[in-house]
Amino acid sequence: MAKKYHFEVRQVEGWADEENGWVWNTSFYVGEFGTDPENAKRAFTRYLRKLGIVFKPNRTLITDYTDVIEIIDRKTKEPLFAALLLM
């Protein structure tokens, strides 16, 4: 049986910290999705698209830390959305 991951999606509000870059200030629950481990980043962006959240091409980066996937602004590095792995 294939392993399936379950993520909680949150909209992130951060503030710039001179020492650490961007730090999460608060976040808001958006929803949840499940996927296979190797498709997590793609499933995250597809889930946001289903909700009508679309980003302009080349304006964001997706970072995958296994337990957290972040969509960040390419220029400022500000976190925009995150998917948190639920256990």
- Write the pLDDT tens digit of every residue in 33-42: 999 988 999 9
CA distance readout (Å), 38 to 4, 5, 57, 63: 10, 10, 23, 14
Q: How far apart are the first and last CA of the chain?
A: 18
Q: Is the pLDDT of residue 1 over 60?
A: no
pTM: 0.90
